Amino acid sequence: MADGRRSLTDFCPLFPSRDAAQQVLLTLVERDYLQDLSAASAVEMAAVSAPSPEMAPSAELIPVNTAADSFEGQRSLASTRMFLFDMCERMFVRRDPDFAHEVRAALREARDRESMLAIAALLLVEVEHTAGAERAETLRERIDRLLPLAEAAH
């Protein structure tokens, strides 16, 4: 979601409050998980952390160009399962506890690539519904990088 085109307002629904979203953003920049694009980063970050009342929400662009999410580990079902558990916890536990419980139970039983793909598909449909197609596609790409490659039929 941190692609330099999103605003702080876009992140707010993911957090309990606007202040919490701001704090997370600032912490991610401070810890170099996100990069500041401008030479005047201190001025822009001050503007993000204390927007003027007349500033329109669409003008609150987050000055970052990339997330430091460059997974270079080995593909595995365990990594995929942990990512799906994490995705479920972050996106659905508060919003839809019954759905989150259902997904967690399915993940505990998933033992192969196909069952992981089925659970991922279920999650991605809900993500697309709640957070949009772009967010779902980003998560789909990450899942594709985590899952072991399908074995070719002989």
Instruction: Give residue 126's pLDDT band: very low, low, confident or very high (50, 70, 90).
Output: very high
Residues 141 and 84 in one domain: yes
Residues 83 and 110 in one domain: yes
Domain extent, residue 105, equals 77-146
pTM to 2 decimal places: 0.52
Instruction: Give residue 8's pLDDT band: very low, low, confident or very high (50, 70, 90).
Output: low
Residues 133 and 82 in one domain: yes
- Per the domain annotation, does 151 fall within a domain? no
Residues 60 and 104 in one domain: no
- Per the domain annotation, does 123 fall within a domain? yes
DSSP string, 58-75: GG-B--EEEES----S--
Residues 90 and 140 in one domain: yes
The contacts of residue 77 (CB under 8 Å, 6+ apart) are 110, 111, 112, 113, 116, 147, 148
For 9-66, the pLDDT digits (tens) are 776 777 788 788 778 777 777 776 666 554 334 444 444 444 444 444 444 444 444 4
Q: Among 67, 89, 115, identify where a domain stops.
A: 67
